[in-house]
Structure 1
Amino acid sequence: MKRIFLVLLTLGQMSYGQNSIKSDSLPARHIEEIVVTASRMASSKHEVPVAVSKLSQKTIAETKAVAVYEIINKVPGVLMVNLGNEQHSMAIRQPMTTNAYYLFLEDGLPIRPMGVFNHNALLEINQFNLQSIEVVKGPVSSLYGPEAVGGAVNLLSLKPSAVPQLKLGTQFDQFGYRRFQTAGSAAIGKLGFHVAGLSSLQKNSWMNFSDYSKDNINGRLDYAITAKTRLIGTVFYGKYYSDMTGTVNEKDFYDRAYKSSTDFTYRKSDALRAKITLEKDWGEKKQSFFTLFTRDNKLGQNPSYAIKWVQGQTTAKGEINSNNFKSYGALLQHNQSISFLNSSFVIGSLLDYSPVDYNAYQIDLKANLNPDGQTVSSYEIIAERPDIKLSDYEAEIFNKAGFFQLTVKPTEKVVITAGGRYDAMSFDYENHIDGASGTKRFDQFTFKSGINYNFLSWAGYYGNYSQGFSPPGLTSVFRAKSGTGGTTGVPAEFYYNLKAAEFNNYEIGGWFRFFQKKLNIEYSLYYLEGKNELLSIKQPDNSTDYQSAGKTRHKGVEFALYYCPNDQLRIRVGGTTAQHTFIDFKVSDKPADPVKNLNGFEMPSAPKWTANSEINYYPVWLSDFRASVEWQMVSSWFQNQVNTVKYNGYNVFNARLGYKWKDFEWFVNAINLTNKLYAYNVTRGNAANAVPSYTAAAPRTFVFGMQYNLSLK
């Protein structure tokens, strides 16, 4: 492989190859990927004993995604579930879930502090500021701490360009979506800067009551103090507001009557993140990084998913909540290579102090029933009840951690990795509902070890053992149990005894290259055991009871094939087959309930097969033209925990065309090309008469756009 010049930025979490864009434009050549997320330092993908995928800037630029899930779903073994208006859940070595089993990173730093997980965190991301995306599958708690169980998604930001650049773009669809975006970058002497912003607006879409707006801006300054010392500052600010459509009932779904049952639910976010990093090169392959960071988030909701309704009744209950936090933290990391056995190590520590406050109160609703009397046509607000508190607490979260990883290369073909991390997460709390106060603490040491054996120039494999853990989120701990508090006359009870979930992962994988590196195959097999998982039990009124005493098993095979027969074609085939099973999950003590435990049952929303494949065409007879067809497949899954009803899954095709002429680029994306009727998720309760809820997918959508790219070379 030819020389690749690497600049490690932001605590070693960002890597850029000066040749990367040019190399990626040659589809018939495979350039060995350099990744940073898997080891916190720049490493060859084939020298880290984990399943890691990298989405390049070229892939991001050609996808022209409205939402990040369109890009991330290209990673084999990953299903990022679209919940509408850039809201999402995730499935990486887990069922489709909103549980805190994924870590979302921005340039190597968690977007949110531990204990304040939000499955929608990536809706804050500026799609026009992405250099690349790296996805590590499986537990990486030994490097990144709690919540990095199913995997970690690291979004790497653009850095200042060596020459002045200006980008202006717009994209829109036939359903009222509009987005404007701009970016500028330059270097003046020792100072470089980059600014990127976007503004999105959705009005009068295919689903009624589904408007949203999003405004983001990112800024970055790089200052070279000396040739070996750099100062880097970044800032992000974003505002988001969305109608929360929620799900539709079965009849409306199959009639394609895309109507929301509410016209008052919403989600809004106001987010600020900033950091400043001092980088120091002490010598060849010896660097230190010190970062100070802050976060300031305000999240407010009147959530559609929190509406509690008993089938057949004409009244219901909802809630309004707000979740606000600030963070002040520091991260110190040192990377160094040593001559003994061609070794290298990473050592670091983290301190994160995050005060948080949360408030939720009840709203009384009227349920207007459909003629069948079993489903709801619409809800109306009767009264807001701030006097009925569902949750009301303040907490100060302290996350303290130290981590270490050693990599030894005793021979040219063998790489051995071992590392660990100790996390001491605690929070001082005051529960304003029951007057309780105190401290809860979750201490955990997580370990990983692995080996890479690249026994041939065209083949290699790896194996690893890794641990992961995830403490319960504060919103679960301080949620009043169903049937207590409020106007029930029963003192409010809370989930103070929830435990941290713990995971053990066993994994092997490998890679092959054939036909002068034109055909590349990657695979991984994993076996993930979980205990004390935070398990949710749906109640008849749609409320949730929590347990952290369950055991689960997750096992599967992930695979990817990349074939570039010539400079005109790129073929990608990727997917996973998996099983997600309850091993120990007690759901009821009631003698009348036919199912009292789910031992051996499949977990709901857990398709056994998912795949995403794509053919890209770059004709030599029409320079700067591109075309692609993408296939997304999700097999059937159980809608409920008791495994009585399945949804059949879906097959969907997307097509993308683009053409560049001088400094201009035009494109059109056809999403859901065949206008298939399908749902991203379908769920229902465990009762025999429970009705399903459909998260409807959009009909065929055409996204048009134009972009102006000016570079003063």
Structure 2
Amino acid sequence: MYKFVTILIILGQFTYAQNTQKQDTTSTSLEDVFITANRTKTLRKETPVAISKITAKTIDETKASALYEIANKTPGVVMVNLGNEQHAMSIRQPISYSSYYLYLEDGLPIRPLGIFNHNALLEINQFNLQSIEIVKGPVSSLYGPEAIGGTINLISQKPSYYPEFKFGIQADQWGYKRIQAAGGATLGKIGFHVAGISSLQENSWLANSDYTKDNLNVRVDYAITDHTRLISNTMVGNYYSDMSSSLNEADFYSRNYTSTSDFTYRKSEALRTRLTLEHDWNSKSSTSFTAYHRDNKLGQNPSYSIIWSQTNNPTTATGQINSSNFKSYGGVAQHTQKFDFWRTTMVSGASFDFSPVTYWAYLINLSATLNDGEVGKQTVSKYEIVAEHPETKLVDYSSDVYNTAFFNQVSFSPIEELVVTIGGRYDNMKLDYQNAINLSTGEKTYDKFTFKAGANFNPYKEAGFYGNYSQGFAPPGITSIFRLKTGTGGTTGVPADFYYNLEPATFENYEVGGWLSLFENKLNFDYALYYMVGTNEQLSVKLEDNSTDYRSAGKTSHKGIELGLTYKPSTQWNLRIGGTVSKHEYIDFKVSDKSSDVLQNLGGYEMPQAPRWSGNSEVSYYPNWLPNLRASVEWQLISSYFQDQVNTVKYDGYNLFNGRIGYKFKCIEIYGNVMNITDKLYAYNVSRANLTTSQSSYTTAAPRTFLIGLQYNLSLKK
């Protein structure tokens, strides 16, 4: 049974009642204030990037069981649900597990540079979110490497001024349950906010998919003086999930929600704590310093690491058990200075991060039970562990990771209608490593200066335009560098070989966009057109035995149009339409050096898992005849895409509908969500290796799901 997480609360400048007032949900008006794009509070019309805000009202009304339900409401964002809050991402990139996204918690990266994990957001407490800001495109000049496809800043609840408390439960028919509570207040100069969730999944529709998650967030604010504040944030989280396998084509289309393994899992223990000192020197000058610590342990017996070959003893396979652990010690200093001349604002800062990391993985031998079928086209019905071999290490390294950065950005307005922004950042990532597999030690350094320049032009009160050029930079993740190459080391008798030759990826992004607000802010429209070229982008080639080879590609291109519209014709109706059309291609990607191979280079091919169209739209209804009722219908679209890199097989994509309804009576709120209203058979992701004998692998999505919940909200605002 899962634990009940208790929480008192007090503190925050916005009471629950204020947060639930009727307002635009995800609309972005010219007067919206953002923090992420410029590391300081900035109006939308002064921000030369594509940025969206998901408000507290949207988060509250969504009542999401997982973060992807919220993030996907942003045009250009496809957060792919992999089950049990595990996920992949697509923002100006194909659906992938790549390290080209930066995840922030109140402006601070959740993980250090070089230790990216695409599942990092499963550590987030959804009940502690005030808002979410999503920047699309590179912002490496402010936040550093990995801020390329997109940057997601999860902004936590602040202490409320008056005492508040809320408590909720939710459950669905597939064995999912969650208890959540939060509260806060301000007592004199001290304010605090505490939020916790405890989730449990048992006996789901999908085999081998139980999970538990417990998170607790605590924030304490101390107003030392009217101009000086001390803020502490602490997060503690524990997560354990069975890891179901993907399905073959026959099982997928017959809705046989089985798993070829019942022993695979993922578990995580995370601690993040920070202490921030803020001081306002005057109305034009402020300084902050943040010291932080992270402690993260991630252990796995991953289903995706099972290697099986039809041609070489098909009744056997191999897998691995691995563990990745790191601690971080670091600090960020930032100063913001405003000048009267041309209304100039300058943001300058520096950061340092020291993260010792260890990673090991050892071999397990498996037996494979085959389904009946034609030889060469058979599939596996069940894997079982035959033996574990802790003595046979596949990966075994330790590394001290040093990240140092300096950044500066200046914005100024030479004329009333024009705001110009110029910024740059220098990053240096140094690795001191010990590789126990080949008994080597060494040092690797990746460094880069990245630059951006943009301008906003606002000729009218109701409209604005912007353009920008920005650079992105991402060194290879150290997990990829020290991954043993297929066919080397271990029991093969061949000397061990690693990916020491992976190059850092660089990106150049060109972008124009704008926004329009009409009818007293009832209609809001924004758009962005972008073209991004990647050089040495780290990509993977999926081999026939399910293993992965890593390459630094020559060049790739990413281009598209993002559109978002909200229309609120009356207090009763709210329409939101959002989507993107994009194309992701290889310009030059050498995949083979063998003259006997037909395919040498993927130049001109589309990248796999890259739908041309995607979108999320919603109609919400707030009836005047029953003021505390809300109802909405949401439409999610993913168009067809190639499953493989050689563009031979496509997945059709899907159209999906979700519904939500809720009613408040005094302090009580009851709600229900229906996910996948039409019970559509679809997959979150479909992939395939490049050989003609390869078979498709389906990450299947949930059938129709009914979630119900009850929430108690108390605010003692006078």
Question: Does TM-score exceed 0.5, indicating one fold?
Answer: yes
Matches within 5 A, 1:151-550: 151-311=150-310, 313-372=314-373, 374-550=378-554
The 8 Å contact of residues 27 and 567 in structure 1, kept in 2 or not, is answered as no
Question: Is the 2:30–2:44 Cα contact (8 Å) retained in structure 1?
Answer: no
Contact 2:16–2:164, Cα closer than 8 Å, also in 1:
no
Q: Distance in 2 between matches of 1:213 and 1:591?
A: 51
The alpha-carbon distance between structure 1 residues 519 and 367, as it changes in their structure 2 partners (threshold 3 A), is same
- In the alignment, is the contact (CA less than 8 A) between 2:15 and 2:164 conserved in 1? no
CA distance in 2, matches of 1:311, 1:337: 66
Quick one: which amino acid aligns to residue 299 of structure 1? L
Question: SS in structure 2 opposite 1:60?
Answer: helix
The change in CA–CA distance for 1:557 and 1:20 in structure 2 (over 3 A counts) is: farther
Superposition deviation, residue 334 in structure 1: 0.7
AA at the equivalent of 1:442: Y
* TM-score, with structure 2 as normaliser: 0.96
Alpha-carbon contact 1:357-1:395 (below 8 Å) kept: yes
Measured after TM superposition, the shift of residue 53 of structure 1 is 0.3
CA contact 2:76–2:580 (8 Å) conserved in 1: yes
Which residue type is aligned with residue 35 of structure 1? F
Matches within 5 A, 1:631-710: 631-710=635-714
Percent identity, aligned pairs only? 60
- What's the CA shift for 1:21? 4.2
The TM-score with structure 1 as length reference comes to 0.96
Instruction: Work out whether residues 23 and 31 of structure 1, in 8 Å CA contact, stay in contact via their aligned partners in 2.
Output: no
- Per the TM alignment, residue 23 of structure 1 is displaced from its structure 2 partner at its CA by 9.0
Displacement over 6 Å in runs of 4+ = 15-20
CA contact (8 A) 1:27 1:568 kept: no
Paired amino acid for 1:88: H
SS for the counterpart of 2:537 is: strand
CA distance in 1, matches of 2:514, 2:713: 39
What pairs with 1:142-153 in structure 2 (closer than 5 Å)?
A: 142-153=141-152
One-letter amino acid of the structure 2 residue matched with residue 334 of structure 1: H
- In the alignment, what sits opposite 1:7? none
1:10 matched to which residue of 2? Answer: none
With 282-291 and 30-39 compared, the bigger mean Cα shift is at 30-39
1:564 aligns with 2:561: no
Letter in 2 for 1:632: Q
Give the drift of 1:514. 2.1
Task: Label 1:350 to 1:20 Cα distance change in 2 as closer, same or farther (>3 A).
Answer: farther
Provide the C-alpha distance between the structure 1 equivalents of 2:426 and 2:21, rounded to a whole number of angstroms.
Answer: 39
Q: Could you tell me how far 1:16 is from its partner in structure 2?
A: 7.4
Amino acid at match of 2:355: S
The alignment partner of 1:685 has SS state of coil
Q: For residue 414 of structure 1, what is the amino acid of its counterpart?
A: L
Task: Sort the Cα spacing of 1:578 and 1:20 in 2 relative to 1 into closer, same or farther, 3 A.
Answer: farther
- Comparing 269-278 and 589-598, the one that deviates more: 589-598
Distance 1:27 1:397 in 2: 44
Structure 2 residues not aligned, in runs of 5+: 1-11
Alpha-carbon distance in 2 for matches of 1:389, 1:347: 45
Stretch of structure 1 that moved more, 19-28 or 609-618: 19-28
Partner of 1:118 in structure 2?
117
Deviation readout 1:299-329 (Å, 9 max, x if unpaired):
0000001111113611111111000000000
User: Which is worse superposed, 269-278 or 406-415?
Assistant: 406-415
Whether the 8 Å CA contact 2:13–2:159 is kept in 1: the answer is no
Measured against aligned partners, the alpha-carbon deviations of 1:647-669 in whole angstroms (never above 9, x if no partner) come to 00000000000000000000000
CA distances 1:242-295 after superposition (whole Å, capped 9, x unpaired): 000020111111110101110000000000000001110100032110110000
Q: Which residue number in structure 2 is paired with residue 92 of structure 1?
A: 91
Residues in 2 aligned to 1:205 and 1:709: alpha-carbon distance in whole angstroms: 30
Question: What residue ranges of structure 1 are gaps of 5+ in the alignment?
Answer: 1-14
- Residue identity matched to 1:359: W
Structure 1 residues 189 and 16 mapped into 2: Cα distance closer, same or farther (>3 Å)?
closer
Residues 18/216 of structure 1: CA separation in 2 closer, same or farther (3 Å cut):
closer
CA contact (8 A) 1:240 1:268 kept: yes
Q: Deviations over 1:199-218 (max 9, x none)?
A: 00000000011000000000
SS in 1 for 2:308: coil
Q: Give, in whole Å, the separation in 2 of the partners of 1:152 and 1:17.
A: 25
Aligned-pair distance for 1:581?
0.1
Query: Could you tell me how far apart the structure 2 residues matched to 1:606 and 1:502 are?
Result: 20
Question: Displacement of 1:590 after TM fit?
Answer: 2.8
| Conserved 8 A contact 2:172-2:708 | yes
For residue 517 of structure 1, report the CA deviation from its aligned partner.
Answer: 2.2
Deviation track 1:566-588 (CA, whole Å, cap 9, x = no partner) reads 11111000000000000111112
Give 1:92 shift.
Answer: 0.3
What is the DSSP-based 3-state SS (H/G/I as helix, E as strand, rest coil) of the residue aligned with 1:347? strand
SS in 1 for 2:568: strand
* Structure 2: distance between partners of 1:614 and 1:675: 19
Q: Alignment partner of 1:119: what SS?
A: coil
Pick from 578, 582, 603 the counterpart of residue 607 of structure 2.
Answer: 603
- 1-structure distance, mates of 2:303, 2:18: 43
Question: 8 Å contact 2:586–2:605 — kept in the other structure?
Answer: yes
